[in-house]
Structure 1
Amino acid sequence: MITTRHLKCLYIVSKQMRLLSTTAYTHINVGVKGEKQNIGYIQLNRPKALNALCDGLMHEVSKAMDEFEADSQIGAIVLTGSEKAFAAGADIKEMVDKSFKDCFTTNFLSHWDRVSRSLKPVIAAVNGYALGGGCELALMCDIVYAGDNAKFGQPEILIGTIPGAGGTQRLAKVIGKSRTMEMVLTGQQITAQDAANWGIVSKVFPTDKVVEEAIKLGERISKNSKIINAICKESVNNAYETTLKQGLATEKRLFHSTFATNDRSEGMKAFTEKRAANFKDE
Structure 2
Amino acid sequence: MPLTGGEIRLERSHDGRVANLTLNHGRYNIITWETRQVMADRFAEIDRDPDVKLVVIRAEGEHFSSGGDIAGFMEVDPIDLTDLGHNVTAAARSPKPVIAAIDGYCFGVGLELVLATDIRLATPRSRFALPEMKLGMIPGSGGTQRLARLIGLSRAKYHVLTGERITGDQALDWGMVSVLAPDGEALEQETLALVDKMLGYSPLAMRTAKEVLDKGIDAPLYSGIELERKAYSMLRASSDFAEGVAAFGEKRAPKFTGR
1:44 to 23, 27, 51: 23
- Corresponding residue for residue 216 of structure 1: 193
Q: How many residues align?
A: 254
Residue 158 of structure 1 aligns to a residue in which SS?
Answer: helix
Residue 234 (1) aligns with residue 214 (2): no
Contact 1:83 1:127 in 2 (8 A): no
Q: CA separation in 2, counterparts of 1:252 and 1:54?
A: 42
1:78 to 52, 56, 63: 56
Q: Which structure 1 residue ranges, 5 or more long, are not aligned?
A: 1-24
Greater share of residues in helix: 1
Contact 1:78 1:215 in 2 (8 A): no
Say if 1:102 and 1:224 are closer, same or farther in 2 by CA, change over 3 A: closer
1:214 maps to a residue whose letter is: T
Q: CA separation in 1, counterparts of 2:234 and 2:98?
A: 23
- Corresponding residue for residue 140 of structure 2: 164
Q: CA separation in 2, counterparts of 1:40 and 1:147?
A: 22
Residue 31 (1) aligns with residue 7 (2): no
Structure number with greater Rg is 1
1:170-209 residue pairs with structure 2 within 5 A? 170-205=146-181, 206-209=183-186
1:151 to 127, 135, 138: 127
TM-score normalised by the chain length of structure 2: 0.92
Contact 1:76 1:219 in 2 (8 A): no
Q: CA separation in 1, counterparts of 2:48 and 2:96?
A: 10
Superposition CA RMSD, Å: 1.8
- Corresponding residue for residue 3 of structure 1: none
Residue 66 of structure 1 deviates from its aligned partner by 2.3
Residue 47 of structure 1 aligns to a residue in which SS?
Answer: coil
1:44 maps to a residue whose letter is: L
Q: CA separation in 1, counterparts of 2:193 and 2:71?
A: 37
Say if 1:259 and 1:95 are closer, same or farther in 2 by CA, change over 3 A: same
Contact 2:89 2:112 in 1 (8 A): no
Q: CA separation in 2, counterparts of 1:55 and 1:113?
A: 13
Say if 1:257 and 1:53 are closer, same or farther in 2 by CA, change over 3 A: same
Say if 1:33 and 1:209 are closer, same or farther in 2 by CA, change over 3 A: farther
The 10-residue stretch of structure 1 (120-129 or 216-225) with the greater mean CA deviation from structure 2:
216-225
Residues 167-186 of structure 1: per-residue CA shift (max 9 Å, x gap): 11001111001100110000
TM-score normalised by the chain length of structure 1: 0.84
Contact 2:121 2:178 in 1 (8 A): yes
Q: CA separation in 2, counterparts of 1:83 and 1:196?
A: 23
Residue 130 (1) aligns with residue 106 (2): yes
Contact 1:53 1:89 in 2 (8 A): yes
Residues 131-167 of structure 1: per-residue CA shift (max 9 Å, x gap): 0111111110100000221100100000010000111
Q: CA separation in 1, counterparts of 2:253 and 2:77?
A: 58
Residue 111 of structure 1 aligns to a residue in which SS?
Answer: coil
Say if 1:55 and 1:265 are closer, same or farther in 2 by CA, change over 3 A: same
Residue 245 (1) aligns with residue 222 (2): yes
Q: Using the aligned pairs only, state the percent identity.
A: 31
Residue 91 of structure 1 deviates from its aligned partner by 1.2
Q: Which structure 2 residue ranges, 5 or more long, are not aligned?
A: none
- Corresponding residue for residue 248 of structure 2: 271
The 10-residue stretch of structure 1 (137-146 or 107-116) with the greater mean CA deviation from structure 2:
107-116
Q: CA separation in 1, counterparts of 2:234 and 2:142?
A: 30
